[in-house]
């Protein structure tokens, strides 16, 4: 696979999924250099710990943002290198940055790639969550009911209603619901949302 495909500079989000077929890490690093050089932009690495980047000599010299330290300035190129959801919380609100996601087998980000419309460098296709206007409205409703972290029974009741709306549309996807909420809510609140999803799926097993 070419590391300098002109298609790579046409998209704001690039997704390098984990695969056993070749070295995804090497491709992701080369891709980040190519995009950075093309736009003559700064390159920032976001990863769980500094050691994730420092293990790679070409990344160790770059600005590194981790789960615990640093923030990402908007603009430029961001290499999300083997990230976690906690790391991605520092990326979600960037609007001017080009984000290159290099996935690790321990945590998958296909739902993220689908929601942001990322270009999959393996399939060479733009990904999509295929949500209708009504489906997006239902997801917005789920997030709205989490204004207090999905803390009470009324929030759960209303959230479940929105989940039923998604199911009726044929658009319920647990990973998409969680990722959509993760881009807007904190980690602790998401744990409560996941419990609501567990109860919903037990009640409506056909959607699980």
The pLDDT tens digits of the residues spanning 39-95 come to 999 999 999 999 999 999 999 999 999 999 999 999 999 999 999 999 999 999 999
In this prediction the pTM is: 0.92
Q: What is the pLDDT of residue 56?
A: 93
For residues 197 and 203, give the distance between their C-alpha atoms in angstroms, rounded to a whole number. 10
Instruction: Confirm if 68 and 30 have CB atoms less than 8 A apart.
Output: no
Per-residue pLDDT tens for 158-199?
999 999 999 999 999 999 999 999 999 888 889 999 999 999
Question: Residues of 133-149 as b/e, b for ≥16 C-beta within 10 angstroms?
Answer: eebeebbebbbebbeee
Q: In what side-by-side order are the strands of the sheet with 119-120?
A: 64-65, 43-46, 77-81, 98-102, 13-16, 119-120, 125-126
Mean pLDDT of 139-147: 95
Q: What is the pLDDT of residue 2?
A: 54
């Amino acid at each position: 696979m070419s590391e300098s495909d002109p298609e790579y500079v046409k998209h704001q989000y690039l997704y390098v999924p984990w695969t056993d077929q070749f070295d995804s890490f090497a491709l992701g690093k080369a891709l980040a250099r190519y995009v950075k050089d093309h736009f003559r932009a700064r390159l920032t690495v976001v990863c769980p710990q500094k050691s994730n980047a420092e293990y790679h000599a070409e990344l160790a010299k770059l600005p590194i943002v981790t789960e615990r330290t640093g923030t990402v300035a908007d603009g430029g190129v961001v290499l999300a290198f083997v990230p976690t959801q906690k790391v991605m919380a520092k990326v979600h609100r960037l609007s001017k940055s080009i984000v290159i996601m290099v996935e690790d087998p321990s945590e998958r980000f296909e739902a993220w790639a689908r929601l942001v419309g990322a270009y999959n460098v393996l399939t060479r296709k733009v990904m999509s969550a295929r949500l209708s206007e009504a489906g997006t409205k239902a997801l917005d409703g789920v997030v709205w009911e989490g204004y207090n972290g999905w803390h009470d029974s009324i929030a759960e009741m209303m959230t479940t209603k929105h989940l039923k709306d998604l199911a009726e549309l044929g658009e319920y996807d647990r990973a998409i619901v969680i990722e959509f909420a993760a881009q807007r809510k904190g980690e602790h609140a998401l744990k409560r949302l996941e419990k609501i999803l567990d109860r919903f799926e037990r009640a409506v097993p056909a959607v699980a």
